[in-house]
Amino acid sequence: MIFDKNLHEECGVFGVYANHNASDLVYYGLHSLQHRGQEACGIVSNDGENFYIQKGLGLVTEVFNEQNVAKLKGLNAIGHVRYSTAGGGGLENVQPMYFRHHTGNFALAHNGNIVNSNELKKYLEDSGSIFQSTSDSEILAHLIKKEKRDSNRVLAIANALNMLEGAFAFLILTNDKLYCCRDKYGLRPLSIAKLNGGYVVSSETCAFEVVGATYIRDIEPGEIVIIDKDGLHSYFFSQYQRHKMCAMEYIYFARPDSDIEGCNVHTFRKESGKLLYKQHPIKADIVIGVPDSSLSAAIGFAEASGIPYEMGLVKNKYIGRTFIQPSQELRERGVKMKLSAVTSILKGKKVVLIDDSIVRGTTSKRIVKMLKEAGALEVHVYIASPPITSPCFYGVDISTYDELISAHKTIDEVKEIIGADSLVFLDENKLYEAGKRSELCTACFCGKYPTALYQSYKDANKDGKF
Ligand code: SF4
């Protein structure tokens, strides 16, 4: 997927414990997680006594430089990349967030979305809390400090986490510990690795490779891993545990070189391409994929079908972020700046176009048009996931039914709208097969949510259509 499909992962987190140049390592870690959020980023470090903070709006390379990273002292640090949806994009919402408290200061970074945030915020405000930001991530900090049942910090964190409903991977950095927490449904990934006698934690394992860390294991759903001078300690805050990993992490968000819960993302996508061919066999001249996230599925499809895999679309890697373009004509030109159709490969060919997903349909329509203008005789659009028919409430910015073409149109109608000669989707049960998994979150495909939804469902239905 190359165009702005209005489908974004909200965040990525990265932490380092007991390593020299901890902030440098977090910088490189965040760089590897940049695909999970491009709007803002931050690093908070700790030298055992003091916290050092640097945050800003923009890419990792725009916010950080040698000088400001050098000021982030200490052996421990956490970082965050953000795509702003929940709470908005202001500087006050940029993470990690830092909190001062007489029982101990701490910093916090969060990936995911809390679905009962309105209820918790009201409860906290009614009992005296004043929020600095509109991000729901701040809620955990207030809950931890409100927790008077136990002076033991891990129990205070555990009790606070048990009040949250939704998807989360939290990193909490104190003067002497790093707490790594994952929601009991297992919706968002979080893994841990070893580096130079210390530890590294990341939303995705691809970042371990870059800093030279050795993967140890994934943090389990409902688990808090506490890292301190004595090593790793495990604590489960919930007896209820599921492995409802977000299927979209495999399909689209995560980097192909990441492993999520024992399954490599490229391997998953390649397998989904093979299964797509088995489900919908076709005779064609070439198979092409939409760069970059659909290329693995296209390779799998080509392998299973024997149809040659070709580079029919080429991505301009140096385009960076696009500007908001005022007119249709300029928007079209913007699209062509990002992606080119290769006329000499496409001309006169019956083409199978593999894409990972369809959200609004505008992207697919533009690509089909581009391929036909380049001379393709037929364009058959093969989607390596099921139609997205329901919003996501767990940190992916598809929050209303209104914006989802497949929530309103039949597959035939979508085919007509995007101008394809045929359109097919992968069955939901094939996602489990591709990942060799018995559990996944597939709520945006089937509408069966693994958690209670609270106010989110009402917000998604505010147009009154559903
Ligand atoms: S609803 Fe879809 S995008 Fe959201 S967590 Fe579940 S699978 Fe992922």
Structure tokens at 151: 């002076």
Which of 81-95, 138-152, 401-415 bottoms out in mean pLDDT, i.e. has the lowest? 81-95
Per-residue pLDDT, 32? 97
Per-residue pLDDT, 338? 80
Ligand 1 center from residue 187 Cα (angstroms): 8
Decide which of 190 and 102 is more confident: 190
Q: Which sequence spans correspond to the domains of the chain?
A: 11-242, 267-316+323-438
Mean local confidence (pLDDT), 423-429: 98
Average pLDDT, the chain: 91
Give the nearest ligand 1 atom to 398 CA.
3
Binned at pLDDT 50, 70 and 90, residue 460 comes out as low
Binned at pLDDT 50, 70 and 90, residue 330 comes out as low
Per-residue pLDDT, 344? 98
Mean local confidence (pLDDT), 128-146: 87
Tokens 């809620």 — which residue?
Answer: 139
Residue 465 has pLDDT above 50, yes or no: no
Give the model confidence (pLDDT) of 21-61 as tens digits.
999 999 999 999 999 999 999 999 999 999 999 999 999 99
Mean local confidence (pLDDT), 302-331: 74
Any ligand 1 atom below 6 A from CB of 254: no
Give the nearest ligand 1 atom to 248 CA.
8
Give the nearest ligand 1 atom to 393 CA.
4
Any ligand 1 atom below 6 A from CB of 277: no
Mark whether 11 is an active-site residue. Answer: yes
Give the model confidence (pLDDT) of 207-246 as tens digits.
999 999 999 999 999 999 999 999 999 999 999 999 999 9
Structure tokens at 216: 């140890």
Ligand 1 center from residue 85 Cα (angstroms): 15
Q: CATH classification of 267-316+323-438 is 1.20.1250.20, yes or no?
A: no
Residue 6 has pLDDT above 80, yes or no: no
Binned at pLDDT 50, 70 and 90, residue 149 comes out as low
Ligand 1 center from residue 227 Cα (angstroms): 29
Fold designation for 11-242:
Glutamine Phosphoribosylpyrophosphate, subunit 1, domain 1 (3.60.20)
- Cβ–Cβ under 8 Å, residues 79 and 96: yes
Spell out a b/e string for 348-360, using b for 16 or more CB atoms within 10 Å of the CB, else e: ebbbbbbbbbbbb
